[in-house]
């Protein structure tokens, strides 16, 4: 069983079945199984009752089972960190610079810019970006490249939104903040639809009507498109010649001139959604079979893309109110980001060469 080879779930289940056969006889077990298969829905409660002893056995085995799993994960994580350490260390340095720069910017500019909506939005988006970049690093160090790439997808979205708001200023920043009313209205409607099936408390009387009225007032002010996803950007997009008539994130991405990353964005969408591409194509794994755990492969793209987006967003924030240290900070991030990109590429190529050697040796 790989990392957890000392724990055998099949042996536990087989032992449980053997006990049932000894206690009730084989015919009873077969009849029980046939009945469960033929009428699974009606037999769920019975199945849960019958599984109680097995569940208790598994709980009793949990300390040994989990220790083996965790030990295996630790060893695997150490191996991954050893191979990717130079790249991950540089990534972490850039992340720390971004975090400190954002914190210093927020603290030193708050008194002068605190009443500006663009300042509020960009500082919050930058904080969120630092958190996402941290999540990417955690996933990289634990061997989850596709998960890291999926998080970069979100970081790219946050970066494009921040750049678009910085480009259009206070009016769009205000609409962005007010669009929270629309998102809340959508959430309330979904809650109302799902609550009965989930057994949740119903909405308070008039709550949905009040939310709808708030949205209607904003639609009256900004136009019908404001009600849509990314509706806060609609007016500004209409003023952009290259995006006129377009809506949504792709239009925002185009306006801020990051649409050259659309192929990367699509690539990062595969592990996010349940489509066939995400099932049949897995760049984290070059071997046969199906990957259901960590892998040392496929970490480079997420790491390098993460640094590019974080640097872009940090630059956007700092140029909102430039200071003498801004060029130095951004210059350092760009320089270290390039070095990290080279380190990620070198680690990926070295791993590919190692896997080829191992494959040739196995074939021989």
Q: Where are the domains of the chain?
A: 2-50, 60-279+295-363
Q: What is the pLDDT of residue 151?
A: 97
Q: What is the pLDDT of residue 8?
A: 62
Q: Does position 1 have pLDDT exceeding 50, yes or no?
A: no
Summarize the confidence of residues 37-66 as an average pLDDT: 64
Are 306 and 136 in contact by the 8 Å Cβ rule? The answer is: yes
Q: What is the pLDDT of residue 2?
A: 39
Q: Does position 61 have pLDDT exceeding 60, yes or no?
A: yes
- 71-128: pLDDT as tens digits: 878 888 888 888 899 999 999 999 999 999 999 999 999 999 989 999 999 999 999 9
- 128-152: pLDDT as tens digits: 999 999 999 999 999 999 999 999 9
The kind and range of the H/E element at 122 are: helix 117-141
Reference 148, options 349, 273, 274, 298; nearest CA is: 298
Q: Does position 341 have pLDDT exceeding 70, yes or no?
A: yes
What's the half-sphere exposure (Cβ side, CA atoms, 13 Å) at 284? 26
CA 140-146-149 angle, to 5 degrees, is: 75
Q: Taking all residues of the chain, what is their mean pLDDT, rounded to a whole number?
A: 86
Q: Does position 286 have pLDDT exceeding 80, yes or no?
A: no
Q: What is the pLDDT of residue 62?
A: 77
Summarize the confidence of residues 162-187 as an average pLDDT: 97
Q: What is the pLDDT of residue 22?
A: 81
């Amino acid at each position: 069983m790989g990392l957890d080879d000392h724990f055998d779930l099949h042996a536990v289940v087989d032992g449980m079945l053997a006990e049932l056969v000894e206690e009730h006889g084989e015919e009873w077990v077969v009849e029980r199984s046939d009945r469960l298969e033929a009428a699974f829905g009606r037999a769920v409660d019975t199945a849960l009752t019958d599984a109680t002893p097995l569940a208790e056995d598994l709980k009793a085995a949990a300390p040994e089972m989990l220790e083996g799993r965790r030990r295996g994960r630790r060893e695997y994580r150490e191996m991954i960190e050893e191979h990717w350490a130079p790249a991950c260390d540089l990534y972490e340095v850039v992340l720390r610079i971004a975090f400190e720069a954002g914190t210093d910017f927020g603290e030193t500019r708050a008194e002068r810019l605190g009443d500006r909506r663009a300042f509020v939005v960009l500082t919050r988006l930058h904080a969120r970006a630092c958190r996402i970049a941290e999540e990417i690093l955690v996933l990289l160090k634990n061997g989850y490249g596709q998960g890291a790439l999926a998080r970069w997808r979100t970081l790219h979205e946050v970066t494009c939104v921040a750049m678009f708001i910085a480009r259009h200023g206070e009016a769009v920043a205000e609409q962005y903040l007010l669009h929270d009313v629309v998102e809340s209205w959508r959430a309330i409607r979904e809650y109302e639809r799902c609550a009965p099936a989930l057994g949740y408390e119903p909405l308070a009387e008039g709550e949905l009507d009040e939310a709808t009225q708030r949205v209607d007032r904003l639609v009256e002010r900004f136009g019908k498109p404001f009600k849509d996803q990314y509706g806060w950007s609609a007016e500004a997009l209409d003023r952009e010649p290259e995006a006129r008539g377009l809506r949504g994130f792709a239009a925002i991405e185009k306006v801020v001139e990051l649409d050259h990353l659309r192929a990367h964005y699509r690539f990062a969408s595969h592990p996010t959604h349940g489509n066939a591409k995400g099932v049949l194509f897995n760049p984290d794994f070059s071997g046969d079979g199906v990957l259901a755990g960590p892998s040392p492969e496929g970490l480079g793209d997420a790491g390098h893309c993460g640094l590019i987006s974080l640097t872009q967003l940090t630059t956007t924030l700092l140029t909102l109110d430039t200071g003498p240290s801004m060029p130095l900070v951004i210059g350092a991030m760009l320089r270290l980001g390039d070095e990290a990109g080279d380190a990620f590429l070198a680690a990926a190529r070295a791993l590919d060469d190692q896997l080829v050697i191992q494959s040739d040796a196995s074939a021989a």
